[in-house]
Amino acid sequence: MAILSEYNLRQLDRLVKYINSFEEGNLSLSSLVSNIEGLIGALENFSLSQRNELIRTWGVLDEIFAVCLDENNRPLSTEERNLINRTLYELRELCLSLMGNHDPDKTGFT
């Protein structure tokens, strides 16, 4: 695995923090989807395969949000909530894996 720049580590750390904030009920699905999209787009000199893996995983969240929005902002179903939870777990694990030995709680990044 390539060594990530401090800038990219901060972006991944922020992504994990957004996931945590959503899970704590402090961030809407709309904001989560938008923030993750922005952070993925902000990554610099990032491996295409790694970026595509982030996009693929984020895309599940984006699709669920789009379907609910298209259906007049209907509430999430139990199945959709479960899929969101699994996807957030995968996305967090992917970020932490990409960050290598960098523990988000210990990096000091904000």
pLDDT, tens only, 49-69: 999 999 999 999 999 999 988
pLDDT at 64: 95
pLDDT at 84: 97
- Is residue 10 one of the residues assigned to a domain? yes
Question: From residue 41, how far is each of 51, 87, 106 by CA, in Å?
Answer: 9, 19, 24
Q: Which residues of the chain have pLDDT under 50?
A: 104, 106-110
DSSP state, residue 3: P
Q: pTM of the predicted model, to two decimals?
A: 0.85
- Is residue 109 one of the residues assigned to a domain? no
- Is residue 93 one of the residues assigned to a domain? yes
Amino acid identity, position 85:
N
Domain that holds residue 79: 6-102
| Number of domains observed in the structure of the chain | 1
- Is residue 51 one of the residues assigned to a domain? yes
- Is residue 77 one of the residues assigned to a domain? yes
